[in-house]
Structure formats: structure tokens, C-alpha cells
Structure 1
């Protein structure tokens, strides 16, 4: 645990910290020592440290309270890595020099791509962008090749990024991933689908799901709870209730048999 490394290297006190967690400006001597060491291990010591993320009284016993000092604000209630989003973990790796084995340039590259996607008002990216993003993620995974679990994580990321997200529209002779006039199209179709067309796709997907559940229920292999939930949803929306009246009758028949 890197909290032990920080504590032992700095010769920090094991005595309890007595500090108002909302007013670190009046920190006790022990807490001030911890603050100094946290800044010392920050790759950008002059950068803003989000002390509000931390519970200083736990610094000497909980390594996660130290880690949150290197994360963006708003992480105060998090108790472990499994509760963090990608931004929090990437910032921790980028700013804390305890991750000396990781090239910060590789981490910052992934952060840049992540920010470009999250700050895009339409969440659209080009195929070329996706290729660069995948390469950046691969380079980041290699930085953790000594971690056994990363091999499986790398496979999961590759599988996710290799999924074909093309949308083929009936009546059109190309999809968003097609090649036109020698130019590769963006990952989002160049033809903007109308709201009516989107509604049609949603209805078709819903109908397909209903049919799957009804078929499974007929063979006693599917819990009917999902059908009950869908039935309530359809009945609460008049237009959908009318469109899927046959499916609703089938669900009612199944419930009557129970």
C-alpha cells in the first residue's frame, strides 16, 4: 500500500489526527505533515489539491483517503476503486508519483481522448479517432503488464472497441461504416435519422424483446417478472399499449395461468 510508503519514508506520526475536515486551514500539526507529504508526491506540487475529497482523520489508516487527494473534486464519498469513474483513476495515476513505473504521457493521452469524447456535444467521433483512442488504451494497458488482471481487462476492452456499431437502414444502400467516393464515413451515419424513424427502430426493438420473453415464458424458461414490468410500462403509455395490444393480451393470458 502506498500510504505505508508515504508514511514510513516521511517519518509521519502515528498519533491521531484532530482536525475539522471542512477547514484544513486550521489543521493540527500531524495533519499539516500529511498535507506536506501529499504535495511532495504530487507531480505538479503547485496544482490545486482537492482536500474536500478527503477525511484527514483517516489518512494514517486508510490509503484510499490519500489517493482521493489526487483526484478531481467530488470524490469524497467514494470508498474504493470500484466506485470510481475513469477520470478519477486516471488523474490519480497521472498526478501521484507513486506510479513511477507508468509513463505519465501515456496516461495524459488517454485522458485527452476521454475528455474529447465526454465534452463533445453530440458524442460523435470519427473512425480515425476511434483507432487512435484504441491505440492509446493499448499503450496504457502495457504500462500495467505486471498486473495479472490487466490481461483479461485488455481483452474486454478490445472486444468492446471491436463491436460494429453500424446502423443499417432498410431502403438505403449504405451504412454509416461504408466507404463512399473513396472516403471512409464517420462512425455516425451521414444521414440524420428523423425522430419518426428513431421511434420506429425503438418500437421494433421493443417488439422483438417482447416476443423473446413470451416465447421463453411459453417454455417455462423465463421468469415472468420482466413481462409484468413491460406490461405496466406499455399500459402507462397509451400509444404503445395500442400498438402492442396483442402482446399485452398474451401477457395477461400467461398471468391468468399462474
Structure 2
């Protein structure tokens, strides 16, 4: 049966909690992206109207672009935009992911401005609706336009999100879930006046109260109620989206390492996820392309080890 493997995975309470917590992140994103997009349009306009240089509405003619994660030799206009971005950054001594940005578009596209306050990996993202919850939460945290939101609560949800997505076992306890639910609710309550956020808050409460065990006709019974009101297809889609986000994040980090600097520890969490996916017939088929990228990284590591041994022998 199509969902037999999923049904068996959901019989593990810790993994089921991991999926439910991840679903909350998806709903958080759904609730926030429209609001944040409108706020960044407003922020973009505020920067232009409050800067005499940018008020001229000129465009970059040099097609200025980052070199990796660095910005060098910018034209005077992009340099002015860079100064404004840093002026509104809440962590001015921290790393800014300039590699996310297309500086020549800063005068005309508000979302290119937003990406300077986000984690790496946003270069090809063109709107808030394409971002995951982590990217939107980091924007709220690092852009002072959102200083009216309690930043302690934003950072707490970011911390819990990172714990969730960096869990090598992909399992969380009932106690962890309880604290997570409280943190999410406190954050969303601040934006209760936004209809999409209010709707997301209600859906999160509803879904966290539901047992995600599913019943597959003809399959062996599993612990818990036979029917939860959730379609197996919905749970499967949530699982695939979360696993893909986790896998892409690990790949992005690992591929950013040079082959020479790549170490076995850099691949340890990625390998655990690889073993999990390869051990599930349905997931192995879905993630075939990504698993090939993992194998390529392993091959690069092996080649680097062989090269190091050769140099030592010489």
C-alpha cells in the first residue's frame, strides 16, 4: 500500500511529534509571509524617502554583484544601499549574507533588500511566499523595522526551530512540544490583528490537539485511534516538505565547504539522514536526486582523504 511505510513511521511517538512540530512551522510561514511582504514594501519606501541620495530614484548601471559572500567595488549607489542595510541591521558585528542579494535590484525590488537580513541560500528566492519559516523569522530578528515585535520570543522560536531541524534522530518529546507550543502562541499572539496570522494560530492549536496516527486499509493496525481526521496524503506531503527542508539545509552547509576542507564530521548528520531515507522505500524514491548529491559529497571526501595520505607519504 502507498502509505504503509508512513503509517509505520507514525507509530513512533517521537517522530510523530517531530512532524507535528514541523507542520506548525509550515503554518507559521503561511500566516506570516503576506504580512511580512507588505511590511518590507513599507520599509523599502521608508529607506528611500529618508535618504536624500536614494530619493533620486536612480538605478545601478554597473550590475554590481557579490563575490561569494562578499561585496567589493560597489558603485556609489549600491554602496549607499549597503550602508542603509547595515544601519538597520540589529547585529552589526555579525555576518551579513550578501551572497543572497542582487544589489543592482535594491532600488526597485523590496525583497532583494529583505534577503540581506536572512540566512544564506536565498539567492534565487524572489518573494516572501517562497521562504521557509526560518528565513522569515531571521528577517524579523535582524531587521530593526520589526523591533515592535518582542525579539526574545522571536529568538526563542528560532532556537526551537533549529533544535527541531538539527535533531539527527528527528524525534522530540511531549515536554519539548509543550514548551514549543507555548512559544509559538506567544509569538503569534502579538500579530493577532493580522487575519492570516490569526488563522494560522487557530490551525496550529487544532493540529497539535490531533493524534496523527493514520489508518491504512488492509494494513496491520497501529497504536492509537484508527482515524484521526487527517488524510494520509496530507501527512505525507508535510513529511516530504520537512525532510526536504532539513536535507537541503544540510546539503547547503556541506557543499559550502571546500573539498579539501571537508571532514567526516561535516557529513555525520547528513549520513544519518541518508541512512534513514534509504531505509524507507517510499522516501528513497522521493529523494533520489538529493541522495545522489550526498553520494557525490562522500566521494569528494574520500578523494580528499586519499590525496592527503599521498601528500604525507611524499
In the alignment, what sits opposite 1:9? 50
Structure 1 residues 171 and 79, CA gap change in structure 2 (3 angstroms): closer
Question: What are the superposed Cα offsets for residues 223-244 of structure 1, whole Å, 9 maximum, x if unpaired?
Answer: xxxxxxxxxxxxxxxxxxxxxx
Q: CA RMSD in A?
A: 2.7
Question: What are the superposed Cα offsets for residues 114-153 of structure 1, whole Å, 9 maximum, x if unpaired?
Answer: 1111111111111111011011110110121232221111
Structure 1: distance between partners of 2:162 and 2:53: 37
In the alignment, what sits opposite 1:21? 65
Structure 1 residues 162 and 12, CA gap change in structure 2 (3 angstroms): farther
Structure 2: distance between partners of 1:171 and 1:34: 60
Say whether 1:123 aligns with 2:185: no
Query: Counting helix residues as a fraction of each chain, which structure ranks higher?
Result: 2
- Aligned mate of 1:48, from 80, 95, 99: 95
Report 1 or 2 for greater relative contact order, CA contacts < 8 Å, sequence distance ≥ 6: 2
* Residue 84 of structure 1: how far off its partner (Å): 0.4
Say whether 1:86 aligns with 2:124: no
Question: What are the superposed Cα offsets for residues 203-229 of structure 1, whole Å, 9 maximum, x if unpaired?
Answer: 9xxxxxxxxxxxxxxxxxxxxxxxxxx
Structure 1 residues 102 and 87, CA gap change in structure 2 (3 angstroms): same
Structure 2: distance between partners of 1:93 and 1:161: 25
- Secondary structure at the residue paired with 1:105? helix
| Aligned positions, number | 179
Say whether 1:161 aligns with 2:208: yes
Say whether 1:73 aligns with 2:120: yes
Q: Contact 2:65–2:102 at 8 Å: present in 1 too?
A: yes
Output the TM-score relative to the length of structure 1.
0.63
In the alignment, what sits opposite 1:137? 184
Q: Contact 2:90–2:142 at 8 Å: present in 1 too?
A: yes
Structure 1: distance between partners of 2:92 and 2:186: 26
* Residue 31 of structure 1: how far off its partner (Å): 0.6
Q: Contact 2:64–2:75 at 8 Å: present in 1 too?
A: no
* Residue 166 of structure 1: how far off its partner (Å): 5.3
Question: What are the superposed Cα offsets for residues 134-180 of structure 1, whole Å, 9 maximum, x if unpaired?
Answer: 11110110121232221111112112222213589x899x76xxxxx
Unaligned runs of 5+ in 1: 176-197, 204-258
After TM superposition, the runs of 4+ consecutive aligned structure 1 residues lying more than 4 A away are none
Unaligned runs of 5+ in 2: 1-41, 225-278, 283-314
Structure 2: distance between partners of 1:134 and 1:93: 19
Structure 2: distance between partners of 1:47 and 1:97: 14
